[in-house]
Amino acid sequence: MTFIRYTPEQHDVLDHIVEHDGILLVSAGAGTGKSFLGRQVAEALQPRTALYTAFNKGIVTEGITRFQGLNVMCKTWHALAYSYVKPTQDIQDISYTCIKENISYRQKFLIIEAINNFFVSASTDMFEFMEEAFPEDSSGPGKFSSAELAIKYIEMMIAGELNPTFNFLLKYFHLMLVEGTVKCSYDLVILDEINDTTAVTLEIFKLIDAPKKLGLGEPHQAIYDFLKLANGFEVLSDAPVKRLTQSFRCSTQIAKRIEGFMKKEAEPDFDFKGTDEPVKNGKFLYCTLTNAEIIRAINDRLVARKGFNLLRKVSEIFAYPMAITTASQGKQVYQKVYKFLEDEYKEYVQDHPKGQSFMAYLLEHVDDQNTKSAVALLLSLKRQNINLFKLYADAKEAPVDLNYTIATVFTSKGLEYETVWIADDLNSRIKSIRDNGGVQTHDDLVAYRCYYVAASRCGKDLRNAGALSKY
How far apart are the C-alpha atoms of 385 and 392, rounded to whole Å? 14
Give me the pLDDT at residue 281, please: 96
Asked if the model's pLDDT at residue 102 lies above 50, the reply is yes
How far apart are the C-alpha atoms of 281 and 212, rounded to whole Å? 36
By mean pLDDT, which of 83-97, 274-288, 351-365, 438-452 is the weakest?
Answer: 351-365
Residue 343: partners with Cβ closer than 8 Å, 6 or more residues away: 104, 105, 106
Q: Where are the alpha helices (DSSP H) in 248-368?
A: 252-265, 291-303, 314-328, 340-351, 358-365
| Domain covering 8-84+174-244 assigned CATH 3.40.50.1970 in the classification | no
Give me the pLDDT at residue 139, please: 56
Give me the pLDDT at residue 115, please: 96
Give me the pLDDT at residue 261, please: 98
Give me the pLDDT at residue 408, please: 95
How far apart are the C-alpha atoms of 262 and 234, rounded to whole Å? 19
Under the banding of pLDDT at 50, 70 and 90, the label for residue 141 is very low
Asked if the model's pLDDT at residue 232 lies above 60, the reply is yes
Q: Residue range 119-142: average pLDDT?
A: 84
Under the banding of pLDDT at 50, 70 and 90, the label for residue 2 is low
Asked if the model's pLDDT at residue 1 lies above 60, the reply is no
By mean pLDDT, which of 166-180, 258-272, 343-357, 450-464 is the weakest?
Answer: 343-357
Percent of the chain with pLDDT over 70: 97
Number of helices and strands (H, E) in the chain? 20, 13
Q: Residue range 116-139: average pLDDT?
A: 90
Task: Report the mean per-residue pLDDT for the chain.
Answer: 92
Q: What is the pLDDT of residues 238-248, one digit of tens each?
A: 999 999 999 99
Q: Residue range 294-306: average pLDDT?
A: 96
Asked if the model's pLDDT at residue 90 lies above 90, the reply is yes
Q: What is the pLDDT of residues 436-464, one digit of tens each?
A: 999 999 999 999 999 999 999 999 999 99
Q: pTM (2 decimals)?
A: 0.85
Chain mean position to CA 282: 27
- DSSP element (H, E) containing 215: strand 212-217
Q: What is the pLDDT of residues 317-357, one digit of tens each?
A: 999 999 999 999 999 988 877 888 888 888 888 877 778 88
- Roughly what angle, to the nearest 10 degrees, separates helices 388-397 and 369-383? 100
What residue spans define the domains of the chain?
A: 8-84+174-244, 96-162, 284-415
- Judged by phi (left if over 0) then psi (alpha if -120 to 50, else beta), residue 217 lies in left
Give me the pLDDT at residue 138, please: 59
Q: What is the pLDDT of residues 410-429, one digit of tens each?
A: 999 889 999 999 999 999 99
